[in-house]
């Protein structure tokens, strides 16, 4: 399975209103637990809609672009999510598309990751993975497990996950087993004593979250390993809203391949609308 860590992990892309006399089926802790599973981050404030736009370049001439959009109901539950990312180079193109939608028993996520290469003047698919993870919830609305049926380079596979929380309903770990060997193993989440997430350790990725003295999102540092490269990412926030969410950030990324190194720089602009605006 490919987790949704596009701009979602970096930018901290008509919503039906809950009936005023109908109590919410989940609380903030459970909403953050579910959000951490799908996106590796949580939500600040009573967000209605959040949109981010990313633009950048690589020192090899690559052009980078991306958009994400989240939508939430009055109870703070994610209703809809869409994300697109593209890295366009001279001879290669990377495309990543992710969507997520609320269902009666959880969330349905879909993704398509494709790498295109140019050969004899024609574009050819070098790599492609398409999946549709379904996240299932219990009677409290908390995600308990998921199953992703995917096709990778024409070969079918499945990935299954089980999620675990602590006494404060925070995500502390999940286990992965299946045909995606890079994902298999235990993924651990660590928190500061006062509550915020500060580190995620997984078989093929790691991430650290840094906050300033006011508790605002300050910095994200990530490391990822796959079959063909090692990638490090650092994102620094430079502008926040009154809830401490990042509105403007700069990202620096270095990816090391067997025979080359590529550096990419980008900016991320975010707009957030709250229900009480």
* Beta carbons of 1 and 183 less than 8 angstroms apart: yes
At residue 200, φ and ψ (nearest 5 deg) are: -130, 125
Query: Which stretches within the chain are classed as H helix?
Result: 28-39
pLDDT for the residue numbered 190? 95
Best CA proximity match to 31, nearest among 48, 14, 43: 43
Dist CA 41 CA 197 (whole Å): 8
186 C-beta neighbours (distance < 10 Å), count: 12
- What does 77-140 look like in DSSP terms, one character per residue? -EEEEEEEEEEE-SSEEEEEEEEEEEETTEEEEEEEEEEEEEETTEEEEEEEEEE--EEEE-TT
Dist CA 4 CA 109 (whole Å): 9
Best CA proximity match to 10, nearest among 240, 238, 255, 220: 220
**CATH architecture assignment, domain 28-274:** Beta Barrel (2.40)
pLDDT for the residue numbered 219? 96
pLDDT for the residue numbered 145? 98
Domain spans of the chain, in order of start: 28-274
The kind and range of the H/E element at 236 are: strand 230-240
pLDDT for the residue numbered 11? 47
Q: What is the pLDDT along the chain (277 residues), one digit of tens a residue?
A: 555 444 544 444 333 444 444 678 889 999 999 999 999 888 888 999 999 999 999 999 999 999 999 999 999 999 999 999 999 988 889 999 999 999 999 999 999 999 988 777 777 898 999 999 999 999 999 999 999 999 999 999 999 999 999 999 999 999 999 998 888 999 999 998 877 899 999 989 999 999 999 999 999 999 999 878 899 999 999 999 999 999 999 999 999 988 889 999 999 999 999 998 8
Measuring CA to CA, how many Å separate 2 from each of 58, 80, 177, 208, 265? 24, 18, 13, 19, 23
Dist CA 81 CA 239 (whole Å): 23
* Beta carbons of 74 and 17 less than 8 angstroms apart: yes
**Paired tokens of 34:** 């579910």
At residue 34, φ and ψ (nearest 5 deg) are: -65, -40
pTM across the whole model: 0.87
Dist CA 73 CA 180 (whole Å): 33
Dist CA 148 CA 215 (whole Å): 35
* Beta carbons of 27 and 35 less than 8 angstroms apart: no
């Amino acid at each position: 399975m490919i987790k949704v860590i596009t701009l979602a992990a970096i930018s901290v892309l008509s919503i039906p209103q809950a009936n005023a006399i109908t109590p919410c089926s989940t609380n903030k802790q459970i909403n953050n637990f579910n959000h951490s599973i799908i996106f590796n981050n949580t939500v600040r404030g009573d967000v209605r809609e959040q949109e981010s736009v990313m633009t950048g370049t690589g020192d090899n001439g690559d052009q980078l672009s991306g958009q994400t959009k989240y939508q939430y109901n009055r109870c703070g539950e994610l209703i809809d999510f869409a994300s697109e990312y593209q890295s366009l180079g001279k001879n290669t193109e990377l495309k990543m598309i992710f969507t997520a939608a609320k269902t009666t028993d959880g969330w349905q996520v879909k993704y398509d990751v494709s790498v295109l290469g140019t050969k004899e003047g024609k574009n050819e698919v070098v790599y492609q993975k398409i999946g549709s993870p379904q996240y299932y919830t219990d009677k409290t609305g908390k995600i308990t497990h998921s199953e992703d049926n995917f096709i990778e380079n024409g070969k079918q596979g499945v990935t299954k996950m089980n999620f675990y929380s602590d006494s404060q309903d925070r995500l502390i770990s999940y286990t992965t087993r299946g045909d995606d060997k890079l994902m298999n193993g235990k993924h651990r989440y660590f928190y500061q004593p006062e509550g915020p997430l500060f580190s995620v350790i997984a078989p093929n990725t790691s991430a650290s979250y840094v906050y300033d003295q006011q508790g605002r999102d300050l910095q994200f540092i990530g490391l990822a390993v796959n079959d063909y490269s090692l990638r490090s990412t650092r994102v620094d926030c430079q502008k926040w809203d009154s809830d401490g969410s990042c509105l403007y950030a700069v990202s620096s990324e270095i990816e090391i391949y067997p025979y080359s190194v590529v550096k990419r720089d980008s900016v991320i602009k975010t707009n957030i609308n709250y229900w009480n605006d």
